Structure 1
C-alpha cells in the first residue's frame, strides 16, 4: 500500500508546472492519502470526497477562464480621440 501511495505522490510531482487546477485524480489521490492517515477504511471515503472537490474546483476554474476570454469581446471599445 505504501508503494502505491509513494508512486501516486511521485506521479503528481512529475506533472507539468503549468497544469490546470486539479481534478478528480489529483484531489482524489490527496484525499485517499489523508483518509489512509486517519484510519483504516477511510482511504476510499477520502478519495471520493477529494474527487468531488476536485471536480468542483475544475469547473470553477473553467468558468473563470471562459469569463476572462469573453470579457474583452463584450466590452465596447473606447472611441479614439481625433488626430490634431
Structure 2
C-alpha cells in the first residue's frame, strides 16, 4: 500500500518543525523592509520599485542596528543590577 505523497510531505514537515529551533522575531532588516519598499515604489510609479527597495533596505538596516543596540543595553543593564533587584 502506498502512502499518498501529500501525507508523506505533511509528516516530513511536521517532523522538521518539531526539530527546528525556536524562531525569534527581529525588528527590521534589509530583506523585510526592502520588500515593503519595493511594493510601495511599484505603486508610486513605473521604475520606482528598485529605488523603493534600496530605501527600504537602508531603513531596515538602520532599524535592525537600533534594535541590536537597545538589546545590548538591556542585557548590560540586567548584568549590572544586584542579585536582589532582579
CA–CA distance in 1 between the matches of 2:24 and 2:59?
Answer: 20
| TM-score normalised by the chain length of structure 1 | 0.67
Runs of 4 or more, structure 1, over 3 Å off, are 75-78
Figure out how many residues of one structure are paired with residues of the other and give that number.
Answer: 63
For structure 1, which runs of at least 5 residues remain unmatched after alignment? 1-15, 79-84
For structure 2, which runs of at least 5 residues remain unmatched after alignment? 1-21
CA–CA distance in 1 between the matches of 2:52 and 2:23?
Answer: 25
| TM-score normalised by the chain length of structure 2 | 0.66
2:39 alignment partner in structure 1: 33
CA–CA distance in 2 between the matches of 1:50 and 1:23?
Answer: 9
CA–CA distance in 1 between the matches of 2:76 and 2:66?
Answer: 16
| Structural RMSD (CA) | 1.8
